[in-house]
Amino acid sequence: MGCNPRYEILFEPVRIGPVTAPNRFYQTPHATGMGHLKPQSSAALRSIKAEGGWGVVSTEYCSIHPSSDDSPFGFLSLWDEDDVRDLAHTADAIHAHGSLAAVELWHGGAHANNRLTREPMIAPSAQPPKFVQPGGARAMDRQDIREFRRWQREAAIRAKRAGFDIVYCYAGHDYLPFQFLSRRTNRRTDEYGGSLENRVRLLREMIEDTKDTVGATCAVAVRLAVDELHGPLGITSQGEGREIIEMLAELPDLWDVNVAGALGNDSKSSRFSLEGYQEEHVAFVKTVTTKPVVSVGRFTSPDTMVGQIRRGIQDFIGAARPSIADPFLPTKIFEGREDEIRECIGCNICRSANNEAVPLRCTQNPTIGEEWRRGWHPERLARKGSEARVLVVGGGPAGLECALTLGRRGYGVLLAEAGNALGGRVSREATLPGLGAWARVRDHRVHMLGKHDTVEIYPGSRLGAEDVLSLGVEHVVLATGSIWRRDGVGSSVEVPTEIAGSQSILTPDDIFAGVTVAGPVLVYDDEHYFMGGALAEKFRLAGHDVAIATPLPVVSSWTQMTDEQFFVQKRLMDNGVDVLLSRSLLSASEGVAEFACAYTGRITRRDFGTLVLVTGRLAEQALFDDLSVAIESARGALRSITRIGDCLAPSSIADAVHSGHKFARQLDLPAVAEVPLRERPFLP
């Protein structure tokens, strides 16, 4: 097989100033949660992207000075020669596969907390920080601006010395250069404030300084937010965003354009956006510049990618999340294997990792972030270590990933699923409003399992302990999932609540089983991820009066990690869902729920037709318990019984997939160290 002719345009080389990208696949800058503290991990991750065929591979944000410190989050830095040495590993790793290496030079201004360096925050005008903390940013004077320009030049020189081909001037995501551009944050009265021409002055000088410093051998890119989504008070793509591009149109070698206002706008989840959702804001850019343009939009379809090029929207296919879900996406298209692409589901678990200051994770790609730490490669696996047969019980995300990975290694696998269809929790959760793309977790694995004749699949097969033992397999893997609790125990409640047995008090399991719901509906969410809010939206769309109660001060609070919380709460409120905050469930009986205020303890009551408890989950391990007893007297050929995914510890789909992959990858290999590799500070 080879590249489908209709996709050949994606593999044309594109000139970017003094350098040439080998194709149109551009991995735009994205955070990894690794930063300057984990240079080997970062280099290994970017190396895999280059090996997978991305013509340009960019770093995450790279600080140019200690006054731009984002600790404890994982950012890069180019402050000194130690940083040059470390980042050279990344540039070399990218070059080893023929790709261009790009570095995103960054100063956060009032968006950099400086908690480690303790440098004062700086901004165009005195203002509070762009996150909640004591203090504020001081207004930069002319000397500060001269210093800032020097920091950019010196960081650019270091970037060139480290081996990067493309050096960024970063004016997006509400960071310092963008703070100069926007009237919302720039209230200066000198030559750097007031008119748009004045507000653009610093960005123009940055571009000119960077080109003068490295432009003979390195391309200079500008990342610009052309719309901050604040309406006429801010920069808009039909107003000043367009004017900025027109003013600077031919100055940089490449335009990397997106939307801003918050990172959640640029990396909006699939729950709230479609593929290519930024096009309406960025489509004008190529009409006002001859320089190549790249943008993003969670592109996963090769046909959509070709459409972006042929319709003149952009010259490159920009991607962050799709390159995480499948680092080998370009190679698979080139080799005619586009059916094998692990499409990004837009769940934003990748964003949660950076927001929690831990290395990258992905629901679709369990190897991301493990390239150096565990030595995992997304496309290469060790062959089977024995002729053992493996039974996997449960066809949800953990079971499917486990069976597929074992099949890729060549093992004989029996996959038994109690239900009549594969997918488990994924199939159920993908029916919720906005979550249809999550079905890709199931669909990709089911499709790929069809390519491995050593894997036999048996739907409609509920197995007991004796059934399992009678199969004569050497290894049993239990991926039987979890069930939702009915006793009210959740994140905020450690002991069971007074909840009467009632047909009107349900859990998500009941909803997915098709139990009839009578309004008004009250959802109690003490899990705080997507489920409570998505169910409330589902019931409201069905025409019910709906309220959602939670012990915390906001709805679906953990979705702050996935950059979705604002959108979740806004949609619920826009749809007329009654939001009850800081209320902890005390008791529930037929038609009445009693709550205590999380702060004062004041008691309130709420009538309901149906109460849906979204609290904790319990591992479904009845089969494990039965097997543990049965094998004492009838071990036979059985060598191991292993629980994976939610059957071991209920968590996210991403954790379930990782759990299944980890078992399958390590089966029959020499025992690995209990503690994976860790990067440690250098001690001279």
DSSP per-residue letters across 28-96 = -----S-GGG-HHHHHHHHHHHHHTT-SEEEEEEEESSTTS--TTS--EE-SSHHHHHHHHHHHHHHHT
Side-chain half-sphere exposure of 416, counting CA atoms within 13 A: 19
Q: Based on C-alpha coordinates, what's the Rg of the chain?
A: 27
Res 167: pLDDT: 98
How close are the terminal C-alpha atoms of the chain, in Å?
A: 53
- Distance, CA of 533 to CA of 555 (rounded, Å): 7
- The pair of structure tokens assigned to 301 is 């379809």
What letter represents residue 418's amino acid? A
Distance from C-alpha of 423 to C-alpha of 415, rounded to nearest angstrom: 12
Q: Residues 60-89: what's their mean pLDDT?
A: 96
User: Is 597 buried (19+), middle (13-18) or exposed (0-12) by CB count in 10 A?
Assistant: middle
Residue 418 corresponds to which tokens in the numbers above? 């109690």
pLDDT digits (tens, 9 = 90+) for 260-276: 866 678 899 999 999 99
Q: Token pair 């591992």 is at which residue?
A: 619
pLDDT for 263 equals 60
Q: Assign 233 a pLDDT band (cuts: 50, 70, 90).
A: confident
Q: Please state the rounded mean pLDDT for residues 575-586.
A: 97
Q: Looking at the predicted structure, is the pLDDT value of residue 42 above 90? A: yes
Q: Looking at residues 510-521, what average pLDDT do you find?
A: 96
* 629 pLDDT above the threshold of 90: no
Assign 468 to helix, strand or coil: helix
pLDDT of the residue at 672:
78
pLDDT at residue 1, rounded to an integer:
73
Q: What is the SS3 assignment for 321?
A: helix
Where do the H-state alpha helices sit in 105-175? 142-162
Q: How far apart are CA 24 and CA 56, in angstroms?
A: 8
Which structural domains are found in the chain, ordered by start? 5-355 (3.20.20.70), 389-481+620-666 (3.40.50.720), 485-618 (3.50.50.60)
Contacts of 201 (CB under 8 A, 6+ apart): 180, 191, 192
Contact present, 154 and 77 (Cβ < 8 Å)? no
Q: Tell me what percent of the residues of the chain surpass a pLDDT of 90.
A: 90
Q: Is it the case that residue 154 has pLDDT exceeding 70?
A: yes
Identity (one letter) of the amino acid at 498? E
- Write the CA distances from 527 to 484, 493, 569, integer angstroms: 10, 10, 15
pLDDT at 212 over 90: yes
Nearest one of 290, 307, 321, 327 to 99, comparing CA atoms: 327
* pLDDT of 351 above 80: yes
Give the C-alpha separation, 439 to 421, whole Å: 13
Helix, strand, coil fractions of the chain, as percent rounded to 5: 35, 20, 45
Number of other residues whose CB lies within 10 A of the CB of residue 637: 12
Tokens representing 234? 């801010």
153 phi, psi to nearest 5 deg: -60, -45
The model's confidence at residue 324, banded by pLDDT at 50, 70 and 90, is very high
The reported pLDDT for the residue numbered 436 is: 97
Q: What is the pLDDT of residues 274-309, one digit of tens each?
A: 999 999 999 999 999 999 999 999 999 999 999 999
Instruction: List the one residue out of 263, 208, 204 whose CA is nearest residue 60.
Output: 263
Q: What is the C-alpha to C-alpha distance for residues 300 and 316, in angstroms, rounded to an integer?
A: 14
Q: Which residues pair with 521 in a beta bridge?
A: 546, 610
Buried b (16+ CB within 10 A) or exposed e, 310-326: eeebbbbbbbbbbbbbb
**pLDDT tier at 590 (50, 70, 90 boundaries)?**
confident
Q: What is the pLDDT of residue 101?
A: 98
Distance, in Å, from the CA atom of 54 to the CA atom of 166, rounded to the nearest integer, reads: 14
- Residue 147 CB neighbour total at 10 angstroms: 15
Residue 619 contacts residue 648 (beta carbons within 8 Å) = yes
pTM, to two decimals: 0.96
pLDDT of residue 684: 60
With helix as H, strand as E and coil as C, how does 519-571 read? CCEEEEECCCCHHHHHHHHHHHHCCCCEEEECCCCCCCHHHHCCCCHHHHHHH
d(CA 441, CA 653): 9
- Interatomic CA distance for residues 400 and 653, integer angstroms: 12
Query: Are the C-beta atoms of 532 and 555 separated by less than 8 Å?
Result: yes
The three-state secondary structure class of 435 is coil
- What is the band of 683 on the pLDDT scale with cuts at 50, 70, 90? low
How many CA atoms does the CB half-sphere of 126 hold within 13 Å?
Answer: 2
- If you count them, how many residues does the chain have? 684
Closest CA to 363 of 349, 373, 377: 349
Q: Return the percentage of the chain with pLDDT > 70, whole number.
A: 99
Under DSSP, is residue 339 helix (H, G, I), strand (E, B) or coil? helix
Lowest mean pLDDT among 72-81, 263-272, 346-355: 263-272
> Mean per-residue pLDDT for 152-172?
97
Known catalytic residue: 411? no
Give the pLDDT confidence of 406-453 residue by residue, as tens digits.
Answer: 999 999 999 999 999 999 999 999 999 999 999 999 999 999 999 999
d(CA 669, CA 71): 38
Structure confidence by residue, pLDDT tens digits, 379-411: 999 999 999 999 999 999 999 999 999 999 999
Is residue 682 over pLDDT 70?
A: no
Write down the catalytic residue from 26, 61, 170, 175. Answer: 175
Give 566-610 as a DSSP string.
HHHHHHHHHTTPEEE-SEEEEEEETTEEEEEETTT--EEEEE-SE
Task: Say if residue 479's pLDDT is above 90.
Answer: yes
3-class secondary-structure state, position 318: strand
Whether pLDDT at 635 is above 70: no
Task: Judge residue 149's burial from the number of C-beta atoms within 10 Å of its C-beta, 0-12 exposed, 13-18 middle, 19 or more buried.
Answer: middle
- Kindly provide the b/e burial profile for residues 604-625, where b requires at least 16 CB atoms within 10 angstroms of the residue's own CB: eebebebbbbbbbbebbbebbe
Closest CA to 23 of 76, 118, 98: 98
Predicted pLDDT at 330: 98
Supply the pLDDT for residue 675.
Answer: 81
CA dist., res. 175 & res. 262, Å (int): 10
